[in-house]
Amino acid sequence: MAIPPWADLTVDEKRTRTLAVADDLFAREGLDVAMPVLAAAIGVGVGSIYRQVGAKEDVIDALVITRAHALVERFSAALEEADAWAALERATYTTAQDGATDFLSQTAWDDAASRRPAVAEARQAATDALEALVERARPWLRDDATHEDLRLVFKSTREAGQLDPEGARRLAELVLRGMRRT
């Protein structure tokens, strides 16, 4: 299927394409990609990115918000599962694996959240959804276990995944085992 020319796209479609290409490019090259490189990958001028999304920081902010919304959806869906412990494990493993392969590092999340209230709100919504999921699994957890234990895992998964492809899952398994009542 041919990709429609930029000029034929709606404003929303241009934004969607810009963010999709940025996400893919950042995943391969890291966050230091220059705007002209991003523009070339999209097939437009730098000015088109500024008109559709904004500066590079705005692109990163939009990607962080998208990820935060995906986490809210993942954790909220897990809340609906019958087995609270299995749901917590599954959501944790998936999130850890995603973090191991995502160049949008925790530093980018932290920077974006400190600059923009919308990013901070989206990130807080993801944290709240994780906390609700952990509290639902409370009967299986040690008294001192919290959602912050899993946030530590998620912050560490990029490095763990670089050491060993299965490192992120292994780290998540160890932390979940430590959180569980004996």
User: Would you write out the chain's pLDDT as a tens digit for each of its 182 residues?
Assistant: 778 888 899 999 999 999 999 999 987 888 889 999 999 999 999 999 999 899 999 999 999 999 999 999 999 999 999 999 999 999 999 999 988 877 776 667 778 888 889 999 999 999 999 999 999 999 999 999 999 999 999 988 877 777 887 888 999 999 999 999 98
**Spatial CA neighbour of 57 closest among 116, 16, 122, 118:** 116
**Spatial CA neighbour of 16 closest among 29, 27, 3, 28:** 3
Domain boundaries, the chain: 9-54, 61-179
Q: How far is CA 154 from CA 60, 102, 150, 157, in A?
A: 19, 11, 6, 5
Residues 146 and 28: their CA atoms lie apart, in Å, by 33
CATH superfamily to which 9-54 belongs = Homeodomain-like (1.10.10.60)
Answer whether 65's CB lies under 8 Å from 116's CB: no
The answer to whether the predicted template modeling score (pTM) of the entire model surpasses 0.85 is: yes
Identity of the residue numbered 99? G
